[in-house]
Structure 1
Amino acid sequence: MLSKEKLQRINELSAKAKKEGLSLKEQKEQKELREAYLKNVRQSFKNQLKSVKIVDEEGNDVTPEKLKKDKNNDPFIH
């Protein structure tokens, strides 16, 4: 998870970009922070997907094999 300080900085840079624009250094910082944020979101989403189990109306597990395989290879889910 991204720290509160980094999230706050992302918001500060976004607001400043809308009001007055950013320097090249700030643009680079904003890009790096956004990439870190998106990486974190993607990882969280993948972790959430690994905990999903799909069951049909009859109670049969119909979770896709790829998802089952990913779940079995994850050292944090067991």
Structure 2
Amino acid sequence: MLGKEKIERINALAKKSKSEGLSLKEQKEQKELREEYLKSMRQSFKNQLKSVKIVDETGNDVTPEKLKQEKKKDNNNGYYH
């Protein structure tokens, strides 16, 4: 997860961009921070998905095989969710 300071900086740059524009250096910083934020959010979402188990109305596990394989791969690498 991104730190509070970085999120505040993203928001400050967005506000400045709308009101007065950004310098080239600030545009580069904004792009890098946004990419870091998106990477963090994607990883967080993937971790959430790996903890999901899908069960049908009769109680059968119908979790997609691809998701089961990802969970198994993580468990074999020593990660526990």
- Normalised TM-score (structure 2): 0.93
Report the Cα distance in structure 2 between the residues aligned to 1:49 and 1:4, rounded to whole angstroms: 24
- Give aligned pairs, total: 78
Structure 1: state its 5+ residue gaps.
none
- Normalised TM-score (structure 1): 0.97
Query: Identity of counterpart residues, as a percentage?
Result: 76
Report the Cα distance in structure 2 between the residues aligned to 1:5 and 1:76, rounded to whole angstroms: 28
TM-superposed deviation, 1:76? 1.5
Report the Cα distance in structure 2 between the residues aligned to 1:3 and 1:46, rounded to whole angstroms: 19
Q: Which has the higher contact order (CA 8 A, sep 6+)?
A: 2
When the two chains are superposed, the root-mean-square deviation of aligned CA atoms in Å is 0.9
Report the Cα distance in structure 1 between the residues aligned to 2:63 and 2:69, rounded to whole angstroms: 10
Query: 1:20-55: CA deviations, max 9, x gaps?
Result: 000000000000000000000000000000000000
Structure 2: state its 5+ residue gaps.
none
Runs of 4+ in 1 over 2 A off after TM superposition: none
